[in-house]
A and B are shown apart, each in its own frame.
Chain A
Amino acid sequence: MAESHGEAKGGEAKGSANAHTEAEGGHGFPPFQKETFPSQIVSLVIAFVALYVIVSRVALPKVGAVIDARQKSIDGDLADAQRLKDESEAAMKAYETELATARARAQAIGAETRDKLAASSEAERKALEDSLAAKLAAAETSIASTRATAMSNVRGIAADAASAIVQQLTGKAPAAKTVEAAVDASLKGTA
C-alpha cells in the first residue's frame, strides 16, 4: 500500500521524479499519470461489468417486481373498492325501485278497496232507497184505498143520515136517488 503506483515505475528518487514530472507538464499530477491508466481501466471494466450484471440480472428485476406487485395490489384494491361501491349502489337502486313499486301497489290496493267499498255502499243505499220508496208507495196506496173506503162509508152514512133527517122533518122518506145525488154534490163541495 505504501508503494505509489505510477511513480514506482520511474524508479527514481521521489524528489527528483516530482521535479522532473512538473517539467513534463502534469506528469506528477495523479489523475494525469498515464502509467496508471491501464490498471484503472481494467479495474473499472471488472467493477462495472460486475455491477451491470448484478443490477440487470438480479437487483432491478427484484425491485421492479416489488414495485409492480405493489402497484398491482393497489390497483386490485381500488378495483375491489369500485366493485363494492357499484354493488352497494346497485343494491340501493334495487331497494329504491322495490320501495317505489311497493308504494305504488299499496296505493293501487287502497284505491281499489276504496272504490269497491264506495260502490257497495252506494248499491246498498240505492237498494234501501228503492225499498223505502216501494214501501212509501204501498203505504200511500193503502192510505188512498182506506180513504176511498172511508169516503164511500161516509157517503152511505151521510145518505142514511140525510134520508132519516128528511123523513123526520117531512114525515116522508125521500127517494134514495135524490138523497145520494145531494150527498155527492155536498161531498164534492167539501172534498
Chain B
Amino acid sequence: MIDPIEQFHLNKIFTIGHIGNQEIAFTTSSAYMLLAVVLIAAMMLGAGRALVPGRFQSVVELAYEFVANTIRTSAGSHGMTFFPLVFSLFMFIFVSNIVGIIPYTFTVSSHIIVTFSLALLVFLTVIIYGFYKNGLKFFKLFVPSGIPAVILPLVVVIEIISFFSRPISHSVRLFANMLAGHVTLKVFASFVTMLGALGFVGKVGALLPLGLTVALTGLELMVAFLQAYVFTILTCIYLNDAIHPGH
C-alpha cells in the first residue's frame, strides 16, 4: 500500500547554510512557498489596469475587495492598517492550499511549524500593536466589562488562558484540516490502485473509491478556501482586540 504520509516528507534540494550546528536546507516546502509567492506576485502584478476589468483582473480585484471587506467588517476601518499583512496571509495560505491539491505537489500548510509560525506572527503583532496603541489599557482585554466582582477573577483567568491558547488553536485548525484532508485523499486514491490490481471485479469495485476521491477533491477545494478564510477572519478578530481592547 502507498504510504499516505509519504507526501508530507520534506526532501532537501540544497543546503542554504548553517545556524550553529543546525543545517538550513532549501526543501520541497521552501520551493512551494516560493512558488506561492511567485504565483501571487505574478497574479497581482500581471493584472491589467482596465477601467472595465477582464476576467483575470476581476479575480485580483475580487480578492482585494474580499480581504478588505473581511477586515472592515470584523476589525473596523482602522483595521485597514493591517491590510497588507492580512492580504499576504490570506493569499499565501489560499494559494499554497490550492496548489497542494494538485496531485504530486506538496502542501505548505500541512506542516504545523509553518501554520504555527504564521499564527505566532499574528499573535505577536496583536501583542506588540496592542501595547503600542493602547499602552496598559491593553490589559482591559482580559477584564470584560459588566461582570460581577465575585466571578471576575475566574473570568480574567479564563480570558488569559484563551488569549494564550489562540496561536495554538489558530495554527492547529489549519494544519489539521490540511493534513487530514490530504491523508484521506491519499488513502482513498490508493484504494483505487489496490483494487484495480485485483482484476475485473476489483476494477468495478475501484469505481467507488474513485468517485469518493473525486468528491473529496471537490471538498478539499472548498476546505482549502475555507481554512484560508477562517485563518484570515480569526486574524482580523484578534487584530480587532489589539485595536479596540475593551469588550
Contact = CB atoms under 8 A, between A and B. Distances in A.
Interface of A: 1-6, 8-9, 29-33, 35-48, 50-52, 54-56, 58-60, 62-64, 66-67, 69-70, 73
A38 B19 contact: yes
Given A5-B25, A52-B84, A54-B44, A37 B30 contact: no
Contacts of A60: 44, 64, 83-84, 87
Given A31-B112, A44-B114, A44-B117, A8 B84 contact: no
Contacts of B243: none
A164 to B, nearest CB: 136
B25 A39 contact: yes
Nearest to B65: A67
B237 to A, nearest CB: 21
6 contacts: A30-B9, A40-B113, A43-B26, A44-B33, A63-B47, A66-B57
Given A47-B34, A54-B37, A36 B113 contact: yes
A52 B12 contact: no
A132 B36 CA distance: 119
Interface string B32-49: 011011001100110101
B2 interface: no
Contacts, number: 146
Interface residues of B, number: 52
Contacts of B40: 51, 54-55, 59
A62 B51 contact: no
Contacts of B9: 4, 30
Interface in B11-65: 11-13, 16, 19, 22-30, 33-34, 36-37, 40-41, 44-45, 47, 49, 51, 53, 57, 60-61, 64-65
B77 to A, nearest CB: 14
A55 B63 CA distance: 12
Contacts of B33: 43-44, 46-48
Interface string B76-116: 00000001110110011000000000000000001111100
Contacts of A69: 51
B64 A64 contact: yes
Given A42-B16, A51-B92, A3 B44 contact: no
Given A47-B37, A52-B88, A59-B40, 7 more contacts: A4-B10, A47-B34, A50-B37, A54-B37, A62-B44, A64-B64, A66-B57
A55 B49 contact: no
A43 B30 contact: yes
B131 interface: no
Contact of A37 (B13, B26, B113): B113
Top 5 A-B pairs, shortest CB-CB distance: A56-B84, A59-B44, A43-B30, A47-B33, A5-B12
Nearest to B11: A1
B37 A63 contact: no
B11 A55 contact: no
B11 to A, nearest CB: 5
Interface in B155-191: 175, 179
Contact of B41 (A5, A43, A59): A59
